[in-house]
Amino acid sequence: MCKSCEEFMQEAIGLSIKNIDDNGGPFGAVIVKDGKIIARGVNRVTSNNDPTAHAEVNAIREAAAHLGTFDLKGCEIYSSCEPCPMCLGAIYWARLDKLYFANTKLDAKNIDFDDSFIYEELDLPIEKRKIPTKQMLREQALEAFNKWKSKTDKIEY
């Protein structure tokens, strides 16, 4: 691994350690572009009362704001832990070029941050998931999709 890569990961790990003292969870992330950190994120779920305020998501939000774009091609993310399903989805949607992580999802599970139930739920048919789910008013909702599809001046993402 390159020397600067290790420094970026050390920064993410340092954020995760410091965040515990700041009433946050033990997770940190940094986003790098052109060899420089452009965004940092820590877990603020309980302190912000926001279940989406994971380190990776917070770093993505900061990087997008910093760059003025939703497309983070050309950037890499360093996370103190293997991302949960939500964060992994956000990383793909942000189009980050590369993901580095330190702790594994098993390490997280061992301290009671267990996301395995989400992976299991995603494999189940909708009618067998724990959260009761019912599709409704599809024909009405398709109006927005049809309008989007025919829009000629849309910004694709």
Closest of 1, 4, 15 to residue 79, by C-alpha:
15
Share of the chain above pLDDT 90, in %: 92
pLDDT of residue 1: 56
Q: Does this model's pTM top 0.95?
A: no
Q: What is the mean pLDDT of residues 122-127?
A: 92
83's tokens? 């991302």
Cα 106 from Cα 147, distance rounded (Å): 44
Catalytic positions are 56
